[in-house]
Amino acid sequence: REPRPTQATIAPQLAGIYRADGRNPDGSRYKGMVALQPTADGMRFTWWIGRQIFRGTGEFAGRMLVVNWGQTHPVVYSFGAGAGAVLDGEWADGTATERLVPFALAAPARATPQEGRYRVAGRNADGSRYSGTLTLRRDGDLYRLNWKVGSSYQGTGRLDGNILTVDWGAATPVVYALGSDGRLTGLWEAGRGEEVLTPE
């Protein structure tokens, strides 16, 4: 008999950055961005919805993730086989729903961002495009990022589970998934902006 797949094998296939599109119990809609990071026995969720941050932990139950996020009812997500699956979620009491669409998956094996210069290609929340350069250097457990994209910006990031979360002085961070090819692909402005950093 073939051994059953372990949770650790499944978790990295879902690790990455997602766009969220949901419906609240009162019927109102919301959008945002979500980071999924593997843990020893499941996944860690971080949501940025507008200026609000929510956190939760998920446990696998077959092709489902049951996520407790500090409220009375957990969110139960179902997902398909393979990497890049969409997660369809529903509150356990049926009052709300959420769909998570992958924007960028993180490398399945532990990785480290390359220090040095990157090409920047991004899209603002209003749909306009921008480009430029960025330098990245490691500083102990932190990463220092300096953008030159017309204006200059600075940020400080932490890497956890191949997800780099960068505080750059705005209400929400830039959250990147570190890919197997060394690129950092991220969302900002709670999912309304996007950016790709390609090492030079």
What pLDDT, on the 0 to 100 scale, is given for residue 83? 66
Mean pLDDT of the region 78-101: 89
Residues 6+ apart with CB under 8 A from 21: 29, 30, 31, 98, 99, 101
For the chain, what percent of residues have pLDDT higher than 70? 93
* Domain count across the chain: 2
pLDDT per residue over 10-27, tens digit each?
444 899 999 999 999 999
Give a yes or no: residue 1 inside a domain. Answer: no
pLDDT per residue over 133-184, tens digit each?
999 999 999 999 999 999 999 999 999 989 999 999 999 999 999 999 999 9
Mean pLDDT of the region 41-67: 93
Do residues 43 and 127 share a domain? no
Do residues 153 and 83 share a domain? no
pLDDT band of 7, cuts 50, 70, 90: very low
Write the CATH number for 171: 2.40.128.120
Mean pLDDT of the region 74-86: 85
Q: Which of 47, 75, 105 is the last residue of a domain?
A: 105
Residues 6+ apart with CB under 8 A from 4: none
> pLDDT: is 4 or 98 the higher one?
98
Domain around 169: 116-199
Beta strands in the chain (DSSP E): 16-23, 29-38, 42-49, 52-60, 64-68, 75-79, 87-91, 97-105, 116-123, 129-139, 142-149, 151-160, 163-167, 174-178, 184-188, 193-199
- Global pTM value: 0.90
Do residues 56 and 17 share a domain? yes
Mean pLDDT of all residues belonging to the chain: 91
